[in-house]
Structure 1
Amino acid sequence: MSGQTAGGLAFGDGVLFFPVTPFDRSDRIDHALLAEHVASGVEAGAAGVFAACGTGEYHALSATEAEAAVGTAVTATAGRVPVLAGVGGPLAHARDVARAAAARGAQGLLVMPPYLVQAPQEGLIRYVQALADETELPLIVYHRGNAALTEATVERLLDLPLVAGIKDGVGDIALAQRFVLAAERSGRELLFFNGLLTAELSQAAYRSIGVPLYSSAVFAMAPDIATAWFDAYRGGDDERQRHLLEHFFVPLVRLRDETPGFAVSLIKAGLRLAGLPVGPVRAPLVDPNAEHTERLRAILASGRDAL
């Protein structure tokens, strides 16, 4: 659930929106289409926009492209909701994106992993500190992959004033509970997010440990279904949540899990099915084939029938 505030970030009551990054036939960002995509998501009730993040293929964008995508998202939201920008990967690249995002009007940063290299916990702390030294924007630190954090590391990150939240992409509920308790012991207000893929499927567990916020990639391609689930979640309608999980989210996850990277590729395919020509994903991701796409079409139809 949204309506959460910490570290200068304030999200309204709605779904958190992670837009895709559309590419044209020349493999350039289609900024007009991106603006349309972001504006329509805000109009559909998004509480915040996370631009050029995981669903937006941050891993495949140059620093210049990421900056431009964030600028387009900021303009398209027109101040109606906060815009956060993805940063991560090589430190120099992340620093460039952090500075540029601030200049373009982003209100916060999602700190994603330093891809490829394996680092000790001290190195991860230094990575976050280095980004904090480059910006005055609040930071959401993504606990995921080769940036998996320990409880002791989270306790030290709480000493950094700009750290405003932790996004959990690991899925260890017991460890996430310890993170929440560590923040409570510190007296710091911190935003905690469920950042697992298709987070609706695990959000009941996260809410039970004090993590009410979650990422919704589904909102990018099917805001009606994502919002219906959110409304049931917010209103405590367990039966409606289970109905949508059974008829839409679980089948989607089964399809998603067949191919690495489909967490992003299927969202773009769903937008293309809806008539928005967002283009393909960039390598190393791959687009779904015709059979996958037809199955996705059927899953979306089933989800809308379930509404």
Structure 2
Amino acid sequence: MGSKSEPEAEPESDPAAVAQRLREGMASGVLSFPLTSLRSDGSLDLESYRSYLTAQLATGPGAVFPACGTGEFFSLDEEEYRGVVRVTVEVADGRMPVVAGVGYGWAQALRFARIAEEEGADALLGMPHYLVEASQDGLVEQVRRIAGGTRLPLIAYQRGQVTFDAGALRRIAEIPTVIGLKDGHSDLDRLQRLTLAAPEGFLFFNGASTAEMQARAYATVGVPAYSSAVHAFAPEIADAFFSALREKDDAAVDRLLRDFYVPLVELRDRVPGYAVSLVKAAARLRGLPVGPVRAPLTDPGPDDTAELRRVLTAGLKLATELRRTA
């Protein structure tokens, strides 16, 4: 572990350079939020994770975000987190930025941030803090504390109880190592105000659940980049949607939304936590070595799994058709 902290082993941490790599990646592919592989008893399976992640990254996403929401960060202890970040950095091998999730209160977030530094991550995603509501001053101070305790660039994430106003956004954007904001609220009026308040070059991306459903709307306020949970189990579908959106092929976008994404979201909305559980179940249906979810999440039952299989089959068939006609 000691060699990881020596200067020659450190990743590129210049905020402007990392931001530029992320900007280029966002323009070229979806942002990948991989699942974390677990055994049937719930223990971490890094060998399976390496196999799964190797296949995921071979599809060429714009960046990879390990140990975030889809990766069940909320259920990982610090040593498990270390293993996930380490394997991700090894598999990515410099081909794309690695942005590791950190969260809870700022003190705990910094414990994860230091692990991410040691294991060679390029940047951090600061996920919403735990439990309490907070003022705008408190939200800014939370970001400031995390950013001030690590040399890695930081992307803030507004979702749940975290919502920045334009004034707070300007304040966090003044922090030298804060390079962007991930939005999970889908309040486009507020988001437009934030993009207008931000300095030039500040990164924004759509982090709504099943972000493709709102990708066109986000693009209208200047936020075309998005994360894709679908990439975690069906990169063929995620890439087909990304290509259709980039090429402004509205007919293909509509077909993918109507025949795959809308049925997936309708199934997702049946049970709390399905935003992650269904993703993992879909990956298992494809034979990917990801295992079950951890409590408090629950895996879908037979009926929902059968419906998921039908939705997935339709999506893969459509992605194949679109690829043939491209």
Alignment TM-score, normalising by the size of structure 2: 0.89
Task: Using the TM superposition, give the Cα deviation of residue 6 of structure 1 relative to its aligned residue in structure 2, in angstroms.
Answer: 5.2
Cα distance in 2, alignment partners of residues 172 and 79 from structure 1: 35
Which of 123, 137, 150 aligns to 1:135? It is 150
Ranges of 4+ aligned residues in structure 1 off by more than 6 Å? none
Matched letter for residue 87 of structure 1: V
Task: Using the TM superposition, give the Cα deviation of residue 115 of structure 1 relative to its aligned residue in structure 2, in angstroms.
Answer: 1.4
State the Cα deviation string for residues 211-241 of structure 1 (Å, max 9, x = none).
0110100000000001000010111111101
Matched letter for residue 314 of structure 2: S
Which of 307, 313, 316 aligns to 1:301? It is 313
Which of 278, 283, 286 aligns to 1:274? It is 286
Give the match's secondary structure for 1:46.
coil
Which of 165, 169, 191 aligns to 2:203? It is 191
Could you tell me whether the CA contact under 8 Å between 1:171 and 1:196 is conserved in 2? yes
Which of 277, 284, 290 aligns to 1:265? It is 277
Task: Using the TM superposition, give the Cα deviation of residue 151 of structure 1 relative to its aligned residue in structure 2, in angstroms.
Answer: 1.4
Which of 99, 113, 130 aligns to 1:115? It is 130
Alignment of 1:282-301 (within 5 A): 282-301=294-313
State the Cα deviation string for residues 50-92 of structure 1 (Å, max 9, x = none).
0000000011111221122111111111111110000011332
Could you tell me whether the CA contact under 8 Å between 1:6 and 1:190 is conserved in 2? no
Partner in structure 2 of residue 51 of structure 1: 66
Task: Using the TM superposition, give the Cα deviation of residue 201 of structure 1 relative to its aligned residue in structure 2, in angstroms.
Answer: 0.5
Task: Using the TM superposition, give the Cα deviation of residue 25 of structure 1 relative to its aligned residue in structure 2, in angstroms.
Answer: 2.8
Where structure 1 has 5 or more consecutive residues not aligned to the other structure, the ranges are none
Task: Using the TM superposition, give the Cα deviation of residue 41 of structure 1 relative to its aligned residue in structure 2, in angstroms.
Answer: 1.4
State the Cα deviation string for residues 151-202 of structure 1 (Å, max 9, x = none).
111011111011100111011001101111011xx3x411101010000010
Cα distance in 2, alignment partners of residues 41 and 62 from structure 1: 24
Partner in structure 2 of residue 225 of structure 1: 237
Moved more, 5-14 or 166-175: 5-14
Which of 18, 28, 47 aligns to 1:8? It is 18
Could you tell me whether the CA contact under 8 Å between 1:7 and 1:138 is conserved in 2? no
Which of 246, 257, 267 aligns to 1:255? It is 267
Task: Using the TM superposition, give the Cα deviation of residue 8 of structure 1 relative to its aligned residue in structure 2, in angstroms.
Answer: 2.2
Could you tell me whether the CA contact under 8 Å between 1:85 and 1:108 is conserved in 2? yes
Partner in structure 2 of residue 236 of structure 1: 248
Task: Using the TM superposition, give the Cα deviation of residue 26 of structure 1 relative to its aligned residue in structure 2, in angstroms.
Answer: 3.4
Alignment TM-score, normalising by the size of structure 1: 0.95
Where structure 2 has 5 or more consecutive residues not aligned to the other structure, the ranges are 1-14, 320-326
Partner in structure 2 of residue 206 of structure 1: 218
Which of 9, 19, 24 aligns to 2:34? It is 19
Matched letter for residue 8 of structure 1: V
Cα distance in 1, alignment partners of residues 195 and 312 from structure 2: 35
Matched letter for residue 175 of structure 2: L
Could you tell me whether the CA contact under 8 Å between 2:42 and 2:293 is conserved in 1? no
Answer yes or no: is 1:177 the counterpart of 2:192: yes
Partner in structure 1 of residue 82 of structure 2: 67
Matched letter for residue 55 of structure 1: T
Cα distance in 1, alignment partners of residues 225 and 53 from structure 2: 20
Matched letter for residue 183 of structure 2: D
Give the match's secondary structure for 1:37.
helix
Answer yes or no: is 1:40 the counterpart of 2:55: yes
Partner in structure 1 of residue 165 of structure 2: 150
Cα distance in 1, alignment partners of residues 305 and 213 from structure 2: 22
State the identity as a percent.
Answer: 46
Cα distance in 2, alignment partners of residues 28 and 93 from structure 1: 22
Moved more, 272-281 or 207-216: 272-281
Partner in structure 1 of residue 11 of structure 2: none
